[in-house]
Amino acid sequence: MPVQVPSPNEPGAPLPHNSSPGPGGLTARAAQLIRDQPLSLRTDQVEYLQLILLAVITGILAALGNVAFRGLIRLCRWIFLNLEAKLLGLGSGTPFTLPVLLMSGGALILALDYFFPDDVLGYGFPNFLEMVNLGNARLHRSWIFLKAMGAALSLGCGASVGREGPIAQIGGAIGSAIAQARRLSAVRSKMLIAAGAGAGIATTFNAPMGGMMFALEIVLLGETELANLILVLVSTFSAVVTSRGLFGDIAIFHPAPFLIKSYWELITYAVMGALLGALAAAYIRFFHACSAFFHRLRLHKWLKLELGLTAVGVIAIALPDNLSDGYPVIERAFKGELGVRMLTALAAAKFFASSASLACGAPGGIFGPTFFIGTMAGGAFRQYCNLLLPGLTGPRGSYALVGLGAFLAGVTHAPLTAMLLLFEMTRLDPVLALPAIISTVTALIVAYSIERESIDTYALVKQGKSLEIGHDRRLLAQLPASSVITRDVQTVRANAPVNAVLSIAGDTSQSTLPVLDNDDRLAGLIVTRDLLSALASGVELGPLVNAYDLSRQNPPVLALDSSLDEALQIMEYEGLEELPVVERLGFHHGKFAGLVSRRNIVQAFNRVTVSLSSTATRNPSIFWASGYRVTRLRVPNCADGKTLRELDPRARFGVSVLAVQAAASPDSGFSVIAPDQPLRAGDLMIAAGRSADLRNFQRMLENISD
């Protein structure tokens, strides 16, 4: 029986004569085996590695953006305080120097707003949170420049604002731009935006952990999934490493040594936390009361801005340390160089000036003023407390330091962010931990008991936009109106006579009748109960009255991509059971598409809830593989007439087509399709597979040639 010798390329083959170890310690045979069996990763693992790489890039770019932003602030300060003052012949002793500089800064801000309306003026961070958590997580790329330029002008001319909100939005816009370039989903985009915002804060304060907690606690509203945590952590540390590589490891503040005379002193820190919590709640309400006051003023926005900045300039005549973000003054308070009267005056001045600056339209953030007020109020508390209990309190700088974190926690309702930023900014020893925790937690409890909303969510809640939406609303927010639309509905023409309208209204079960013009666009909406009320009241409906006259002009409408959560809210506000849907929203809406009813929304929600609960049952257990998802794919024109047997998606791509909805009868729902049944252009397929495989299948569909 002949002996078969394995081929050199087969497993178990003898090593060739030249298989002695090479310079790296590997034989030629071992090296060949490594080349023949490369490291393989699942598709979802590759995608997550790509996300980590994108988080690194986001962090680096956010750090470079912060460097450019700081340089822009220095340039604007030089222009206003040196160049302009010299050209106008304004010396430091001239009483009206500061108001003039602030008004000139306001003029440049208004010029920027003229070219880029709606993206420059005011405190924009609540809008940022709304777009991230309630919108589609797509920020304007222009924010990278506009937020930097607007805030630099504000800080340069002396407006009492902070730099932190704008840099968070700049970092978030960078993350959004990267997500859009990679065409990531809304969920992935949200993660990159939060990572960019956290990276911006981290480089501003040289605090990677504080930046990470800012992203998780404030931007993502406490979503602390491990995947989110890792992406944000990678981004913030990449940003800080980049910043330290350029400028070194430099602390933002250099306070005096923190001292505690005795542990009885902790009682005073608890009392200070309670008082600062009450002050934080008062600041939240006063800040938004100022915003409401300027909003109610029947003045042009340029006059509002100049009026507010002039008021800030007048305050600065007596207290010039109140201008800008005041970081040098905070440093002096940490070292105990300010007396009780100056501390009290500066806290009160910043309390008013920061509210007026942002309320009148000056772009900027709130963290800087919050740091300032908390520091001054904490230092002043120590002085007053020492008068009542001499010898019990420690240095005034220690109370100023803890006051910063306590007031920040009360204003933002983010205690972990406040404590981590405090520790990392000052590089202090653990002695600070216990007083800081006591004051911060006490301030949060008191502030939350008085005002449940933070300074960033207060205005949104007043508008009926809660970021803390429940699970049910999150489900509805993911479903578009196109998923439950009824297209076969009764409509009337705008010129239809009363008799025709009454006849149609009597024969339909609809609670509304859409009124269409000759181009099939929505001209109005007849609510049948309004029609019945008119008839019951004996109103004369003459022969000249038509459907348009009976309708509600400019009715509420939805677009096909509007969420069902939005639809339900509009129904509640308007008292309607049905809403018309148009192809697109705009000055001239697209053509009428159909109706969405409350009943259809409830049915859709029940189907989704049952579907989710069925996948969560334990018997039998259903476990989705990591990276595996179900999505909808539209059959393109080039795939018209093809069958699943011809396409063979399971063998070629690992994708299963579960059901198909015919484009010719969209109301018929989804059904299982036979392998030889031809697909038609516009059909909607439900397909399951890994994300990359689904994309490959979709790309193949879009590139089919005859």
Q: Is 61 exposed, middle or buried (0-12, 13-18, 19+ CB in 10 A)?
A: buried
In whole angstroms, what is the distance from residue 383 CA to residue 508 CA? 77
Contact yes or no for 124/169 (Cβ under 8 A) = yes
Task: Identify whether 8 is preceded by a cis peptide bond (ω within 30 of 0).
Answer: no
**DSSP H/E element including 170:** helix 164-181
Q: Look up residue 431 and give its DSSP letter.
A: G
Give the three-state DSSP class for 440.
helix
pLDDT digits (tens, 9 = 90+) for 311-351: 988 888 888 888 888 888 988 888 888 888 999 999 999 99
CATH number of 43-247: 1.10.3080.10
For 85, the token pair is: 């003052």
In whole angstroms, what is the distance from residue 625 CA to residue 628 CA? 5
- At residue 95, the pLDDT reads 63
Q: Which single residue is written with the structure tokens 């791509």?
A: 653
What class does CATH assign to 476-604? alpha beta
Contact yes or no for 309/106 (Cβ under 8 A) = yes
Question: Higher model confidence: residue 597 or residue 20?
Answer: 597
For 614, the token pair is: 């069925």
CATH number of 267-462: 1.10.3080.10
What is the rounded average pLDDT of the residues 208-219? Answer: 86
What is the rounded average pLDDT of the residues 441-448? Answer: 94
What is the pTM (predicted TM-score) of this model? 0.65
> DSSP for 635-697?
PPGGGTT--HHHH-HHHHHS-EEEEEE-TT-GGG--B---TTSPP-TT-EEEEEEEHHHHHHH
- At residue 98, the pLDDT reads 79
Give the three-state DSSP class for 595.
strand
Residue 615: pLDDT band (50, 70, 90) is: very low
Sheet holding 628-634, edge to edge: 628-634, 684-690, 656-661
For 115, the token pair is: 């070219």
Q: Which single residue is written with the structure tokens 């995608």?
A: 47
Contact yes or no for 689/656 (Cβ under 8 A) = yes
pLDDT at residue 626 is higher than 60: no
Query: Are the folds of 43-247 and 267-462 the same?
Result: yes
- At residue 686, the pLDDT reads 86
Domain 627-702 has CATH 3.30.465.10: no
Domain boundaries of the chain, sorted by first residue: 43-247, 267-462, 476-604, 627-702
